[in-house]
Amino acid sequence: MPTPASPRRDPAAHTRRSRAIRAVIFDLDGTLIDTAEEIALALGRTFAELGLPTLPRPDVVALIGRGMHSMVQRALRQVGDEAAAARPEPAIARFEAHYAEVVATCAEPFPGVREGLARLGAGRIPMAVVTNKARWFSERLLDRLGLGPAFVALVAGDDGLPRKPEGAMLEAACRRMGSGAAVTLMLGDSDNDVLAARRAGCPVWCVPYGYNEGRPVETLACDRLVVSVAEAARLIVAG
Find out whether 160 and 149 touch, Cβ atoms under 8 Å.
Answer: no
Find out whether 150 and 23 touch, Cβ atoms under 8 Å.
Answer: no
Find out whether 136 and 129 touch, Cβ atoms under 8 Å.
Answer: no
Q: Is 1 exposed, middle or buried (0-12, 13-18, 19+ CB in 10 A)?
A: exposed
Q: Which of helix, strand or coil describes residue 26?
A: strand
Residues marked active site are found at 27
Measured in whole angstroms, how far is the alpha carbon of residue 170 from the centre of its chain? Answer: 12
Would you put residue 225 in left (φ > 0), alpha (ψ -120 to 50) or beta? Answer: beta
Element housing 80 (H / E): none
Q: What is the distance between the alpha carbons of residues 17 and 222, in angstroms, rounded to a whole number?
A: 14
Measured in whole angstroms, how far is the alpha carbon of residue 45 from the centre of its chain? Answer: 24
Quickly count: other Cβ atoms within 10 Å of residue 191's Cβ.
Answer: 19
